[in-house]
Amino acid sequence: MNDTIAAIATALAPAAIGILRLSGPDSIAVLGRVFTPTHGAPMAQRPDRTLVYGALRGPDGQVIDHCLATVSRAPHSYTGEDTAELQCHGSPVGLTLGLEALFAAGARQALAGEFTRRAFLAGKLDLTRTEAIADLIHAESAAAVVQAAGQLGGALAGAIEEIYQSLTDLLAHFHAVLDYPDEDIQPLQAAHIAATLAQTEDRLARLEGSYRRGRALVEGIPCAIIGRPNAGKSTLFNALLGYDRAIVTPTAGTTRDTVEERLNLGGVLVRLIDTAGLRQADDRAEQLGIQRSHSAAERAELVLAVLDGSAPLTPEDREVLALALRAPRCVVILNKADLAGDAPPPPGLPEGMPVVRLSALTGAGVDGLERAMQALFPADPGLRPGCLLTNARQAQAARQARQAVGRAGQALRDGLPPDAVLSDVELALAALGELTGRVVRDDVTARIFQRFCVGK
């Protein structure tokens, strides 16, 4: 981290503003070689976080842009190093020329996520906040934005820190009694240790349990559309996406494989999976597609069972409903409302299953499906925004901590010596340290920063 890095921090597409970013010990000097203020002192003499208007010049001295520049000196910056930014007009060509000028002035190309990596290594961010930045960049729903913003604000780090300090206090008191026997330190009672461990295990279990919802916010809820051929599955899939993604023809069995896309449906991010129609088929390719339909429905957290609402239930429809009932959540879609008119729902639908009547062809009634989604996946008022685990790394660390605390509690109940109990407490602290980044592993951080774009 002794060199100075530079990158374009905005998308390379025509826009009102484009940003060039610098970080490293020579940031302000490099900026001074390419940027000349219109009035007043050079940037090296300017106060932090003050916008200055001037000219950005290439290596030959030719003006590339008239723009704004600002500096932030260490340690009061995003990365903890000297940093600088140029706020230019958003021409991709102009930004590229500006970046080449920074390279010629002594900077090098930043790697993906290198600015945030430097912030992490400088202690400006823990790993939970670091991962929240990537989640916020990639957020595809309002709920995901709120979750990531809360995590970036320290909600998850704060919750973990409370657990960490509780276990640290337990460990510190125990070692104080052992290391200073002549001091008047009250030994910990077994009942107090047991209560602390039980409370901590419960908090870790709830934290670990939040991963399911957190993962759904970030990755989307697996949602399989199933039904017999020509019930309108692919038409519904296209209607929800807003464009023709799946092939639709009057010929039964057109869909031979699963097709997956992500979209926001009623404020809920879903991974929508179009599947082959379920029926008895002689064609080998169609048989394989039907097998994949079953697999998709069995893995899905939500199944949309599409029926032809203009016709009575068939044996194939009943098989579709039976498969849908195995999913954690399901919605019956009575499609072709444009043909069914005001006809009542067909008899034989399972009781208690949400039913939505719509026309995938015209789009009428899709708002009813959005309302059903909101009812099936309501926001949890008991969870503070930002306190969800959102990736497998976090969930694994929380699980290891919970298991270690559970073993400590069991050792206490079995009457083992206190040092045997507290050795598992130390393992729990190590797992929590991996969760926040107190314990740093290069392979873990490398995987985290793979999600970042260049310039962040």
Q: What is the pLDDT of residues 334-348, one digit of tens each?
A: 888 888 777 777 777
Does 124 score more than 50 pLDDT? Answer: yes
Looking at the predicted structure, is the pLDDT value of residue 15 above 70? yes
pLDDT band at 383 (very low <50, low <70, confident <90, very high): low
Sign of CA pseudo-dihedral 153, 158, 160, 164: positive
pLDDT tens string 150-207: 999 999 999 999 999 999 888 877 766 555 454 444 555 667 788 889 999 999 999 9
- 111: tokens are 């790697």
Q: What pTM did the predictor assign? A: 0.78
Structure-model confidence comparison of residues 140 and 380, the more confident one: 140
| pLDDT above 50 (res 232) | yes
pLDDT at 1: 66
**Alpha-carbon separation of residue 115 from 29, 130, 210 (angstroms):** 18, 11, 29
Q: Residue 455 — pLDDT band, cuts 50, 70, 90?
A: confident
pLDDT value for 156: 93
The pLDDT value recorded for residue 185 is: 40
pLDDT at 112 over 50: yes
Say which range, 95-109, 182-196, 373-387, has the weakest mean pLDDT: 182-196
Residue 69 in this model has a pLDDT that exceeds 50: yes
- Yes or no: say if 208 and 214 are a contact pair by the CB < 8 Å rule: no
- The answer to whether the Cα torsion of 319, 324, 330, 336 is positive or negative is negative
Q: Is the dihedral of CA 130, 134, 136, 139 positive or negative?
A: negative
pLDDT reported for residue 183: 47
